[in-house]
Structures are given as structure tokens and as C-alpha cells.
Chain A
């Protein structure tokens, strides 16, 4: 099957799963933004995407994409490491305009994976999982308020977002190039599009984090002062 045993086939799988995950992030980040605009609105979305069949199908689909993306990431990295040969260059000069992110996709992926685990424990386990198990899910907005008011969570999430940004700035245009949607004119354009989409996604996530960090800590400060 060409999706396993040809290099372009493997990259095809990588780019499709990556692009779908990126679309999911765009959707997820816009939902989060609602938490700034209206707390009730956000809780309504949480309820809507609880343990319904469509939310569950979506979650399973996402998990499948993520697992395939990660398995392929390892497979590709191992094949590529071997292809490089046993002997390494003594001197290598990287001043030739090669993006840093493109050389470190696996490392960035690991950081994303770590952040993802924390995120699932922080939120998903207390919301959708609890509901699947039959109890009352936690209040979405309250959970955000609690988590993002803690400075250590805020820092870990910020680092996570930075890694995500780097991964996406390379990943999005790379996926388009892999699918063949590129030529001499469009190559600079898709790189630019990639940066814009990555920045929009990450800024939306960061906005919610900063909003609730400031809200949480300023309320504390005024409460202490009072």
C-alpha cells in the first residue's frame, strides 16, 4: 500500500492528519474565545459538546488522527535517521536559510504531546470523561478560571503554545507542499499563509489564557488588599 511503503505516501498521511489537526485547533481556539465574550455562552458550548454521540465520534476521530500522526512521526524520523548514514559531518553550517522549526519537528511534537497530556488531565478528564462515566461534568468556565489563575499552569501552557506555533509555522506550508499545492509563485505565499494561520490559532489560545490569568490574579490582589 503506497500510504505505508512509499516516502511520498507516508508524507501524504502526515500532511492530511496534520492539516486535520490544525483545522480542529482553529475550531477549538474559536470556541475558547467565546469564554472571553460570554461565560454562559461558553458553558452552553461545553454542554453541547458533552457526551453526545457527535461529540464522541469527533473525539474518537481526533484521537485516531493524533495517533496516526504520532506513529508516522516516529516511523519517518527513524527511517530518516537511518538514511542519513552512520558517519555524521564534523562541520555543518546552518546559515543557509533552513527554518529552525523544520529541523526540530519531532522535538516540538514531543513538547506538544506533553502539553496535550497535561491538557487532557486538566480539562478533558474533568469534563467529557466524567460525563461519559455518568456523573456531572465540571463547570467549563470555572475550570478555566481555576487552571489559568495558577502561575505554573499559565507558564506551562504558554510554552506549549510557543511549541505549537513553531510546529504549525512549518507544518502548514509543509503539508501544502507535500500535497503538491505549491509552485514558484505560491511557495512564498503558502509560507506566509502558514505563518498567519499559526499566529491566529496561537493568539486565540493565548488571549484566553492571559484574560483569565489577569482576571484571576487581579481579583486575588484586590481581595487581599480589601
Chain B
């Protein structure tokens, strides 16, 4: 049988980037514990629309944990209290009847609020554009197995490639640092022979862009890896440091 709960929501409302925001409290009754967190917000918005009020703005797209759009800070955790899931994969069964749920946007200098719970995460795109790619000439596609790659390296590169660029790492960090994201993006290529060729240029460009955009300095608190929905490991940051320091000493 379907179990339902009643919850109180404390949601951050902010009309625009320059406007002062505040919390608004809403009561929602009879929410199925089988519904997802975003479905619950959809129900809230339907209710608000029927009351002729402004619906809550929040980011979402795939709703299956692969696009990295959903970005809510729920009860003190990016992507909510569950570990290794995105906000869209969070379900209401994680909450109890009568709970008060506080929902905030990512709060970081480099991620300004656009409206309500939606923030501008183009900073991550800019870091990618600075060097998060492999340059290739167009032409015939080489066979995937032409260059042998040890399974260990392939697996580790894949673990880093699982980063969806959601921004939870910077949102969780007390220093507003984007190191886990940059580390994942540098690692996924630096671990593979095709990516090694441009590794030094890439790490300098991406890290330089990260600093320029106003992200903080990593002090190894580890909050990022603890909150990352894709479990990108903290050791990726050590690889980023290693790559960067070596590149600088070679100059």
C-alpha cells in the first residue's frame, strides 16, 4: 500500500540575482513516499499555481542522475541526506511524517543565484572550455583497441569520468573550491595515453581558469568527496596537484 507523509518545506525564494532572498514556509500533505524529491516539488508548484502564486524555480533535466542539472542543498547536504545520489534520485521515503525540510540553492561566490533555487553554473563550463578536452584532427576514427590501456588505468579514468559537473563539490566546500570537479576532469584524461600528450597545458589552463573565476583554495577538508553524488575520490585532487606542480617545475 502507498504510504503518505505530511511535510513542511522551508524554501529559499529570491526574485533575481541582485534581490535579497528569504525563506518561505509551505505545508504539503499526503505526499507519497514513493515519489521523488523533484516530484514533490512539482506537486508544490501545482499547488502554488492553482493558488495564483509564483512557482518555485529549480533546475532539473534528465531526472535520472546523469545530466548534473539538479542542484538543491537539502537539510544541510548538497543533493540531500542520501549518499551517492543526485537530487533527482532522492526519494521521499528518506523523510518522515511531520519533517521540516530546508531547501537552499548552492551558495558559492562563483555560482550566483539566478532565481530561487536555480544558480548560474556556467563557471564549470568555462573551466571545461579552458582545456578539458583532447585535440584531435578529423579523419578516420582509429580502432578503440589500437592503443592498449591497462584495465586499472581505464577503470580509474572511468571513475573520474563519472563526474556530471553538478557543482555539489564547490557547494559543499567551506572554501568554495572547485578542486574535486577540476581534478576529475583533469584525471579522466591524464590517466589515458591520448590525454597525456596535452596534460601539462590542460592542467595549467583549467586550474588558471578556476582561480580566475573566484573559486577558493583547497584545504583538504574532504567535504566534496563525501557529498559527491558520483563518489569521485579525494585522491583525484592529489593527482591534480601533482600534475600542476610537475608542469610548473618543468616550465
Q: Is the CB of B220 within 8 A of A174?
A: yes
Q: Which A residues are in CB contact (< 8 Å) with B235?
A: 182-184, 186-187
Chain A interface, number of residues (Cβ within 8 angstroms): 45
A18 to chain B, nearest CB (A): 11
Interface pair B108/A85, CB less than 8 Å apart = yes
Q: Determine if B240 and A89 form an interchain contact, defined as CB atoms under 8 angstroms apart.
A: no
Residue of B nearest to A101 (CB): B221
Q: Which listed residue (B76, B109, B220, B221) contacts A84, Cβ 8 A?
A: B109
- Interface 0/1 of A60-90, CB less than 8 Å to B: 0000000000000000100110111111111
A181 vs B23: C-alpha distance when bound (angstroms): 44
Instruction: Let me know if B117 is at the binding interface, CB within 8 A.
Output: no
B136-170 vs A: 1/0 string, CB under 8 Å? 00000000000000000000100000000000000
**CB-defined interface of A164-185 with B at 8 Å, one 1/0 digit per residue?**
0000001001100111111110
- Supply 17 further A-B pairs (C-beta < 8 A) apart from A103-B174, A179-B242: A7-B216, A11-B219, A82-B176, A83-B176, A84-B216, A85-B109, A89-B107, A91-B75, A91-B102, A93-B76, A93-B77, A97-B222, A102-B221, A177-B237, A180-B239, A180-B245, A180-B246
Bin chain B's interface residue count.
35 or more
Check B219–A179 contact: CB distance below 8 A. no
A170 / chain B contacts, CB cutoff of 8 Å: 220
CB of A178 within 8 A of CB of B241, answer yes
* Cα distance A94–B81 in the bound complex, in angstroms: 11
A6 close to chain B: CB less than 8 A: yes
**Interface centre among B107, B111, B177, B239, by most A CB within 10 Å?**
B107
Are the CB atoms of B76 and A82 closer together than 8 Å? no
Q: Which one, B76, B109, B234, B241, contacts A8 given CB within 8 A?
A: B241
| Chain B residues with CB under 8 A of A187 | 233-235, 238
Is B226 in contact with A96, judged by CB distance below 8 angstroms?
A: yes
A177-B220 in contact (CB<8A): yes
- Given known pairs A8-B240, A83-B214, the reply for A98 and B107 (CB within 8 Å) is no
Of B113, B207, B238, which is within 8 A of A177 by CB? B238
- Beta-carbon contacts under 8 Å, B198-250 to A: 207-208, 210-211, 214-223, 226-227, 233-235, 237-246, 248
A83:B216 contact, CB within 8 angstroms: yes
Quick check: A80 and B217 within 8 Å, CB to CB? yes
A5 / chain B contacts, CB cutoff of 8 Å? 211
Tell me if B207 and A8 are in contact (CB < 8 A).
Answer: yes
* Complex-state Cα separation, A80 to B110, whole angstroms: 12
Would A87 and B107 be within 8 Å (CB), given that A7-B207, A180-B241 are in contact?
Answer: yes
Residue A105 CB within 8 A of the other chain: yes
**Complex Cα–Cα for A149 and B173 (A):** 45
The reply to whether the CB of A42 lies closer than 8 angstroms to some CB of chain B is: no
Query: Does the CB pair B221–A82 fall under 8 Å?
Result: no
B contact residues around A93 at 8 Å (CB): 75-77, 81
A40 interface hit (Cβ, 8 Å): no
B219 surroundings in chain A (CB, below 8 A): 11, 76, 80, 102, 105, 174
Say whether A102 contacts B108, CB under 8 Å.
no
Q: Decide yes or no: A11 and B76 within 8 Å by CB, A84-B176, A98-B226 being known contacts.
A: no
**Does A182 contact B238, Cβ atoms closer than 8 Å?**
yes
In the complex, A92 has a CB within 8 A of chain B: yes
